[in-house]
Amino acid sequence: MSADRITVAVDSKDPAPAERGVPVTDGVLPTLDARGVGRPESNRRPLEHQMPKNWFLRTPGFRWYAIRELSGLVVGLFTIHLVGAVVAINVGPDAWERWLRIQSHPVTMFLTVVVAVMTVVAAVTWYSVTPKIVRIKRGRKFVGNRWIIGAHYAIAGLVIVVLLWWLGGAR
């Protein structure tokens, strides 16, 4: 207990704490400072479980959730990196050449591979969660989870084919 704060305690077995000059209002105890001014504090203590910092790694569902969220962060940072490329193009040829030299560095190449892997992880984990979010009713039954996931993969494949065709046709 510090010298500048005094905590007034009430014994629950004491029938008359008010007779001793201890203010009590509905289970709330005042905490008084050296001047006698206080603020109410509850005498109830909430149950607090001590959790290890890596508690989410113990359950596969939480582990995949953490990986999915981390993949979103990695992809977001890479998007900021690509915005840097657009800015370099806007600044001029020297800035663009400098950005290209940075891209040829081994560390940047490794990070690009990590981003590609995390992008696939993000897509796979989000596609596996989609049937829990999207419920399509056909007649009296819902469309199966595999159909919804398969449709997402088919659309992603179609987008990739169209982009490759478009980029290849640009030459």
Q: Which range of residues forms the domain containing residue 27?
A: 5-42
Residue 73 falls inside a structural domain: yes
Which amino acid appears at position 58 of this protein? R
Is residue 12 domain-shared with residue 59, that is, in the same domain?
A: no
Is residue 35 domain-shared with residue 84, that is, in the same domain?
A: no
What integer pLDDT is reported at residue 115 of this predicted model?
93
Is residue 71 domain-shared with residue 129, that is, in the same domain?
A: yes
Cα gap 117→124, rounded to integer Å: 11
Count of the separate structural domains present in the chain:
2
What integer pLDDT is reported at residue 23 of this predicted model?
53
Cα gap 106→126, rounded to integer Å: 30
Is residue 36 domain-shared with residue 63, that is, in the same domain?
A: no
Residue 111 falls inside a structural domain: yes
| Dihedral sign computed on CA atoms, order 140, 146, 147, 152 | positive
Report field, pTM of the whole predicted structure over 0.75? no
What integer pLDDT is reported at residue 55 of this predicted model?
84
- 10-residue stretch averages of pLDDT, the chain, 171 residues long: 48 53 54 61 70 85 88 91 94 94 93 92 88 89 92 94 84 58
User: How many C-beta neighbours within 10 Å does residue 60 have?
Assistant: 8
DSSP conformation letters of 108-152: HHHHHHHHHHHHHHHHHHHHHHHHHH---EETTEEPPHHHHHHHH
List C-alpha distances in Å: 120 to 69, 125, 130, 151: 13, 9, 15, 16
Is residue 36 domain-shared with residue 66, that is, in the same domain?
A: no
Residue 119 falls inside a structural domain: yes
Residue 47 falls inside a structural domain: no
What integer pLDDT is reported at residue 15 of this predicted model?
52
Q: Where are the alpha helices (DSSP H) in the chain?
A: 60-91, 93-103, 106-133, 145-169
- Backbone angle region of 32, left / alpha / beta, with phi > 0 → left and psi within -120 to 50 → alpha: beta
Q: Which two tokens mark 161? A: 């084919």
Cα gap 57→66, rounded to integer Å: 8
What integer pLDDT is reported at residue 1 of this predicted model?
47
pLDDT in tens, 107-120: 999 999 999 999 99
Is residue 38 domain-shared with residue 121, that is, in the same domain?
A: no
